[in-house]
Structure formats: C-alpha cells, structure tokens
Amino acid sequence: MRLSKIKLAGFKSFVDPTTIELTSQRVAIVGPNGCGKSNTIDAVRWVMGESSAKYLRGESMEDVIFNGSSARKPVGQASVELVFDNSDGTLGGQYAQYAEIAVKRLAARDGQSQYFLNGTRCRRRDITDIFLGTGLGPRSYAIIEQGMITRLIEAKPEELRVYLEEAAGISKYKERRRETENRIRHTRENLERLDDLREEVA
C-alpha cells in the first residue's frame, strides 16, 4: 500500500484546491522556509484522525483552516483527502476489493469534522481502524518529524513499548481489549443499578 495523492483545500496555507502526486516510493518535499512543507505533514496527520491541535502545531483545531492572508479572506472549511494505492492488496478483508482507498476529512469552523471512506460518510473510528497496526496513523512512527529521534532516544521504556506494539501489529488488539473492558464495566454498572432498583421494588 502506498500513499499516492494528497488533496488539500482550505487547509492551513493551502487555500486553493491542491493535489500533490506522490509518484514513486521515495518523495522529497523541498522549498523555502514557510512554504508549507510541514503543513503537508500536518494534513496527513489530521486526515488520519488527529484530534489534538498541539500535534498539528496549532492552538485550536480551527487553526487548520486557512485564516486569511494580506491578499485573501479566510475560508470556512478545510478538507484533506489521502489516496492510497492498494493494488498490492496490503489492506485485506473488506478493503481487498479496492485498488484505491481514499480517506477524507472535512471540518468547518464550528469544530465539527466529517470523515469519508471512498466517498461514503463514515465515523472517525472507521478511519483510525484502517491504520491501526499498519505503522501509519496520526501519531505513528511512520511520520518522523523534527525532534522525534531525540524523543525516541530519551523515551521511557513504556513509551518505547507503544512503538514496538504498533510495529508488531498488536496495538489493534490492545485497543479492542480496552473497548471491550469499557463495555464490560458499563454493563456491570448497569447490572448494579438494576439490582438496586429490584431491591427498592421488592
């Protein structure tokens, strides 16, 4: 599976609809300071479900929407779409039939985000699920930004374990386990409430 296109509109400095074609296995983005290189990486993180403005180098989530320049008015929404070439069938299961997988996020200034998978509206969770255990994802090791190597060297053992678990593909199962444990806890609480009610009625 390979990221083949990044489509942006209204995202940070990319106010006009822009398509970045990634035509080979290795791609370098070069340009002068402030031209938008890091904004491209922020876009990739954002569309994969990043929900912390800090990780997108902003103060609030609204900061991802183009906020105007001397020549242009601000816009009302940002959208980013990632197109993955899945012709090698890396993404199996229900996705195996698709040679291309497109994930898209759209956000307006009210803070609401909408997610789309191959053009169909979906939940944020559907997007994060695709990438869990693949090494890609908003905070995964596939995106190595400035300062990350230092952070890895200085990381505590439990922080390093998170990366190892993602590389080994077990983070997906840990996440499922966490969700299931939450559901069990809720069910137990409901049962306790039910017992209280039965005692009151008896």
Per the DSSP assignment, residues forming a β-bridge with 7 are 19, 81
Evaluated on CA atoms 110, 78, 117, 124, the torsion sign reads negative
Indicate which single residue of 4, 39, 140, 171 sits in contact with ligand ATP (rule: CB under 6 A). 39
> Token digits for 118?
């191959």
Nearer residue to ligand ATP within complex by CB, 34 or 92: 34
For residue 63, state whether it binds ligand ATP (rule: CB under 6 A): yes
Please state the closest distance from residue 40 (CB atom) to ligand ATP, in A: 7
Q: How far is CA 162 from the centre of its chain?
A: 17
In angstroms, the CA 13 to CA 36 distance is 6
Can residue 85 be called a binding residue for ligand ATP (CB under 6 A)?
Answer: no
- Sheet strands (E) in the chain: 2-9, 18-21, 77-85, 100-108, 113-117, 120-122
Instruction: Report the alpha-carbon angle 3-173-45, nearest 5.
Output: 30
Using CB under 6 A, which of the segments 47-55, 64-72, 123-131, 186-194 binds ligand ATP?
64-72
| 170 is a contact residue toward ligand ATP (CB under 6 A) | no
Closest CB to ligand ATP among 38 and 90? 38
Q: Residue 13 Cβ, how far from ligand ATP at the closest point, in Å? A: 4
Binding to ligand ATP by residue 77, rule CB under 6 A? no
66 near ligand ATP, judged by CB under 6 A: yes
CA 168 to chain centre: 19
Q: Is 18 in the site for ligand ATP (CB under 6 A)?
A: no
Tell me: does residue 33 bind ligand ATP (CB under 6 A): yes
- Residue 138: count other Cβ atoms within 10 Å of its Cβ: 19
Site stretch for ligand ATP (CB under 6 A), options 31-39, 117-125, 129-137, 169-177: 31-39
Q: Is 37 in the site for ligand ATP (CB under 6 A)?
A: yes
Nearer to ligand ATP, 53 or 162 (CB): 53
4 vs 200: CA distance, rounded Å: 62
> With CB under 6 A as the contact rule, which of the stretches 47-55, 59-67, 87-95, 122-130 interacts with ligand ATP?
59-67
Running DSSP on this structure, what letter comes out for residue 72? S
Contact 14, 43 (CB under 8 A): yes
The binding site for ligand ATP (CB under 6 A) comprises 12-13, 31, 33-39, 63, 65-67
